[in-house]
Amino acid sequence: MNQELWHRVRGVFGEAYRLPADDRTAYLDKACGGDGELRSEVASLLAALEKADGVFQPLPQGLISTATRGASPDTRIGSPLGSYRIVRKIGSGGMGEVYEAVRDDGKFQRRVAVKFVRSALSRGEMIRRFEAERSLLASLQHTNIAQLVDAGTDDDAMPYLIMEFVDGKRIDEYCDEHQLSITERLRLFQAVCSAVRFAHQHLVVHRDIKPGNILVAADGTPKLLDFGIAKLLSEDGTPDERTRTGLGFLTPDYASPEQLRGEPATTVSDVYALGMLLYKLLTGQKPYEFHSALPFDMSRTILDTEPTRPSDKPIAIAAAGSSADRIRRTLNGDIDAIALMALRKEPERRYQSVQDLSDDIGRYLSHRPVAARKGEARYRAGKFIRRNRTASIAAVIVTLALIGGIGGVLWQAKRAGNERDIARLEEKKAKRINEFLQQMIAESDVNWYNHGTGPEATAVDILNAASDRLESDLQDEPAVKAELHMTIGNTYLALGRAEKAVHHFAASLLLRRQSSAADNHALMESEYYLAGAYLHLSSSDTSVMDSAERYYKGVIDNLSRPTERGDIYLPYAYQDYAGMLFRMGRLAEAESAIVRALPLFLERYGEAHVATAGCYGDLGHIAELSGDSVQAERCYRRAFDDVMKFAGRSEENVLESVESLARCLINRGGLDEADSLIKECLATGTPPAPTERVHLARLLCCKARIQTLRGDLRGADQTLAHAKAGLEGLSGGEIERMSVRELIAVEEGRMLIGRGAYSEARRVLLKARSGVKENQDRYDHISTSCDVLLASLPGTGPGDVRGSGRRSTPAPGGAGESR
């Protein structure tokens, strides 16, 4: 077609297509005159236009994104990688590219996923980390974990991971596609939990659990991808500003508040991420309302606002046969509590392990009361207290009792039977307990708030009032009453009123024994607490110990039945019972109780937990007192390792385990190792909380002892002054229980002997020994140490030391300032 003709076609067409179809023929006749070629061309184009809509169909979204992203030809496809051959690309994202590869060695074909990892880390650093983590990650062999097969670097030194190939769908999409019910979703979620728990037992924290990292295979098996990968790629010591420079960083959707604050991710952070996942699976939504997509704003929202209850969210999931309303009703209550407990901002207030979370879901599924409901009330109480810091302790305690009591009642009611009855029961009980507490507050003179004789005394007054009232009240509600007895008993115990606590726990036990509703766990709770309260009684009467022993044995016998398998009070009863036996000097029995507790804790918490560390520590003490310092050292090392591996450890746990190990090392002559251990521990330099200060003082005693033994008497003196200063302002139970002042005196005596100040040393040591006696001589080795040191003083006759305390060799007791 020549240019001139085309020009005319364009002109005529431009007018004609705008006309209504009926007017076009007339227009063409006029505009084309006799030019047949022009006319037929325009007519043909006009006819084509009528049908031409398909030409400019919108470009497919996926085409735009993949085409623009992967525009340069992918040279990896088809190329070999070790013994694998890359087949196709399966995806790519911020982390890097993922390919499918096959290994074909004639006999069988293996499909794997190869992930080439992009990171701001240098390749050398990444390779180093890969080498370090590889065996750990490769050891994660679990049905629900996509296994790491291998790792390496390609010809360009680009690091890659080879993982089990998972042919599946994202978990949230899978659930909707198969229209899984809430129950089915919960079971699927539990399978995911089992994988995470398994990894935690192998000391691997996922750090990046999200729906995109969980694929469900066609047979319904979920598989977690990328275990430990986030850690491999995390930045070390990168300056703050880079995280805040604006656009482009990962949306923090699933990250826990502590991760957002830049704190280390722990197993409990994974609990949080699982909570987010659970929320998403059950509601199709996220728990927060974001007002902006800026990561910074999102972080603020996550850190500052409370998540919405799942049942208050618009439900956006597809479950067969369930309307949104029905789903919401299902979620209301237990599931709300479980999800919110997993999502708590404070790591220490969440479920402490994935097992706990999964167990609670199990309880829900088997229609048993969930722990989160109980925790919920206490948690709210805690929030209340933190909001009202200025209120007196008394007010706080009353509030605690009030909220804790109600929570307990609701929890209790849940056990009773079918839902309608529960609803009625809950309403009734809540009403009763409200009445009770209101009257209690009204009757306890309102002046408590302003004119107490001291905050603690006032709190006890109020508790006394509550206690008196409870005796005559709630006769018709034994379950409520039993629960309130537990609450009040615990409060008394916390205030050091053990005799009152014994009374209330016993009352609770009695009521629960009489109850027709069989709830063995609750019964054992009362009995276990009662035994513990007996041990806190200051009476040294043997009948007290007998009572404690009787109740511990009761709990142990009851819970050792196969039907009660897994009850958490069993290992704790063993452990506490062992502590009691230890104090009574029945070391062999104590040891056998600990040996029974240990596997139960291991089963429950996995490898490293503060509870298992406690068991090893106890075994260490027993070995130490039995004179087996080799075994003691082994146990203390294990305890220390467990504490350090346990993500939820407290500073107190660390101090305690370091002190035991250091003390044992000193006794065995390992001064250098003990010294460096103590130095490292003290170097952390955070201001200690009151309970930590007691442990810190004990650790400083170890330090002083090393200094004395090395002849640095000045240093020892300073260290002990430091230890004493740390105890200033502290009073009561913990110091006495740990015999800290006496321990300091022993070291002072040792230091003074080194100086040759014998009379001063004698005065200090004698005082320490009598102090230990006042503390019921629970720390027998301290008086033994006093005796040994006193005996070493010049001019000391046998009569000056207690009993036949003069020993030629200081071991074991004399050497060990052990518990």
Residue list 577-636, contact with other proteins (CB under 8 A):
none
124 binds other proteins (CB under 8 A): no
Query: To which H or E segment does residue 368 belong?
Result: none
d(CA 517, CA 524): 14
> In sequence order, what are the residues at sequence separation of 6 or more whose Cβ sits closer than 8 angstroms to the Cβ of residue 193?
274, 354, 355, 357, 358, 361
* 213-250 core/surface letters (b: 16 or more CB in 10 A; e: else): bbbbeeeeebbbbbbbbbbbbeeeeeeeeeeeeeeeee
Nearer to other proteins, 71 or 218 (CB): 71
Cβ at position 389, least distance to other proteins in Å: 28
Using the 8-state DSSP alphabet, how is residue 306 labeled? P
- Contacting other proteins (CB under 8 A), which of 133, 173, 712, 760? 173
d(CA 756, CA 130): 58
> In sequence order, what are the residues at sequence separation of 6 or more whose Cβ sits closer than 8 angstroms to the Cβ of residue 775?
736, 737, 739, 742
Query: To which H or E segment does residue 89 belong?
Result: strand 84-93
Angle, helices 182-201/354-365, rounded to nearest 10 degrees: 150
- Contacting other proteins (CB under 8 A), which of 80, 83, 104, 120? 120
Cβ at position 268, least distance to other proteins in Å: 13
CB atoms within 10 A of CB 780: 15
Cβ at position 225, least distance to other proteins in Å: 13
- Contacting other proteins (CB under 8 A), which of 22, 105, 155, 236? 236
Nearer to other proteins, 260 or 430 (CB): 260
| Residue 331 CA neighbour count, 13 Å, CB half | 29
d(CA 265, CA 35): 80
725 binds other proteins (CB under 8 A): no
> In sequence order, what are the residues at sequence separation of 6 or more whose Cβ sits closer than 8 angstroms to the Cβ of residue 235?
120, 121
56 binds other proteins (CB under 8 A): yes
Query: To which H or E segment does residue 87 belong?
Result: strand 84-93
Cβ at position 198, least distance to other proteins in Å: 21
366 binds other proteins (CB under 8 A): no
Site for other proteins in 216-235 (CB under 8 A): 230-231, 233-235
- Residue tagged 């972080």 (tokens): 299
Closest among 503, 584, 500, 576 to 541, alpha carbons compared: 584
Cβ at position 313, least distance to other proteins in Å: 16
132 binds other proteins (CB under 8 A): no
139 binds other proteins (CB under 8 A): no
687 binds other proteins (CB under 8 A): no
316 binds other proteins (CB under 8 A): no
Cβ at position 654, least distance to other proteins in Å: 8
β-strand partners of 148: 163
Nearer to other proteins, 72 or 472 (CB): 72
- Contacting other proteins (CB under 8 A), which of 252, 648, 670, 715? 252
208 binds other proteins (CB under 8 A): yes
Angle, helices 393-414/455-472, rounded to nearest 10 degrees: 30
Residues in the chain: 819
Site for other proteins in 60-89 (CB under 8 A): 60-73
- Contacting other proteins (CB under 8 A), which of 238, 388, 539, 592? 238
d(CA 302, CA 296): 10
156 binds other proteins (CB under 8 A): no
Cis omega (within 30 of 0) on the bond before 455? Answer: no
- Contacting other proteins (CB under 8 A), which of 4, 30, 36, 57? 57
> Is the separation of the CB atoms in 154 and 160 below 8 Å?
yes
654 binds other proteins (CB under 8 A): yes
Cα angle 209, 215, 220; round to 5? 125
264 binds other proteins (CB under 8 A): yes
Q: How far is CA 97 from the centre of its chain?
A: 33
Nearer to other proteins, 400 or 655 (CB): 655
Closest among 386, 449, 389, 436 to 408, alpha carbons compared: 436
683 binds other proteins (CB under 8 A): yes
Q: Which region, judged by CB under 8 A, interacts with other proteins, from 181-189, 436-444, 663-671, 678-686?
A: 678-686
Mask: binding to other proteins, 740-779, rule CB under 8 A, as x and -? ----------------------------------------
Nearer to other proteins, 533 or 643 (CB): 643
245 binds other proteins (CB under 8 A): yes
**Which alpha helices (H) appear in 152-283, and where do they start and end?**
171-177, 182-201, 229-233, 241-244, 257-260, 267-283
54 binds other proteins (CB under 8 A): yes
Nearer to other proteins, 262 or 794 (CB): 262
Cβ at position 524, least distance to other proteins in Å: 36
702 binds other proteins (CB under 8 A): no
Mask: binding to other proteins, 369-408, rule CB under 8 A, as x and -? ----------------------------------------
Nearer to other proteins, 259 or 490 (CB): 259
Site for other proteins in 3-22 (CB under 8 A): 6, 10, 13-14, 17
Count of residues touching other proteins (by CB under 8 A): 78
> Is the separation of the CB atoms in 168 and 217 below 8 Å?
yes
119 binds other proteins (CB under 8 A): yes
Q: Which region, judged by CB under 8 A, interacts with other proteins, from 240-248, 565-573, 617-625, 628-636?
A: 240-248
Nearer to other proteins, 416 or 644 (CB): 644
β-strand partners of 222: 216
Mask: binding to other proteins, 440-479, rule CB under 8 A, as x and -? ----------------------------------------
292 binds other proteins (CB under 8 A): no
